Amino acid sequence: MRLVTLMLAIPALASPAVAHDRCTVPQDQRRPANELRAELKAKGWTVGKIELEEGCYEVRGEDQTGLSVEVLFDPASFQEIGRDD
């Protein structure tokens, strides 16, 4: 049972580390969150909330298919880094 618990916990602990390692953009090089909101809306997303999460933009809303999502984006390139669907 402990092994199962440990196996389930490892991905949860690793995910924030991945985001932190990939979102090391200096503050003066980050693009405004409103630009990300506009890009996503143009793609058909419904954007609820954008927050800075360990250096990444975390977007909560619905993607173009209507799926409720939480997605991390690089704050300079707006490249998608990961999701919690």
What tens digit of pLDDT does each residue of 45-85 get? 999 999 999 899 999 999 999 999 999 999 999 999 998 75
Judged against a pLDDT cut of 60, whether residue 27 lies above it is answered with yes
Per-residue pLDDT, 12: 46
Residue with tokens 């990961």: 82
pTM of the model: 0.73
Per-residue pLDDT, 30: 96
Per-residue pLDDT, 17: 43
Average pLDDT, the chain: 83
**Region of 9 on the Ramachandran plot (φ > 0 left; ψ -120 to 50 alpha; else beta):** alpha
Sequence-separated (6 or more) residues with CB below 8 Å from residue 55 = 19, 20, 23, 24, 25, 75
Sequence-separated (6 or more) residues with CB below 8 Å from residue 79 = 73
